[in-house]
Amino acid sequence: MSIDPHAYNISIRRDNFDGEVLFEARVKELPDLVEYGESYQEAYDLVVDSIETAAAAFAEKGRTFPAATVPTDDFSGRVTLRLPRSLHRVLAETAESEGVSLNQHLVNVLSYFSGFAAGNQGEDLSSWRTVSSVQKTKKTTRPSHLRLVRSDELESLKASWG
């Protein structure tokens, strides 16, 4: 039996493991299979090789190897969510102040945080952080050359600009 190891659902994340930054590759269909590499590509190559090796070992022993799952489009876009009344109130009030429906506000919040997580791949994503826990730092790459000019100084400064 020939399998395509690339058809399996492989997820790779970068994280700090025992003080060393590595890429961890996991296979959804084979939860016990984990590989680590110093680069994304190395972790991917190792896990693909491990899938092939595991399939060969299963075949030698006459065991059935788990098939790759095929993604389905069984998602209606509808979710029922239970949450504390206080959170419901805060979300509804925020949505009202933004001038959008509660549903649209929840979609915006979830979309933002999904993108936020994806955009912070280089950071430690092993734990969730609230927006308020993120340190706000002013990022400037060069000094500003802007100057506040009062209107009564404008005419005298125009001559020096020309």
Domain around 36: 5-60
156 inside domain: no
Gap between the Cα atoms of 57 and 64, Å rounded: 10
CATH at residue 84? 1.10.1220
139 inside domain: no
Closest CA to 133 of 118, 116, 108: 116
For the chain, the helix, strand and coil percentages under 3-state DSSP, each to the nearest 5: 45, 15, 40
Q: What confidence tens digit (pLDDT) does each residue in 9-20 have?
A: 999 999 888 888
Residues 43 and 87 in one domain: no
Q: What confidence tens digit (pLDDT) does each residue in 70-129 have?
A: 877 788 888 898 999 999 999 999 999 999 999 999 988 888 887 765 555 555 544 444
144 inside domain: no
pTM: 0.51
30 inside domain: yes
Domain boundary among 35, 60, 85: 60
Number of separate domains in the chain: 2
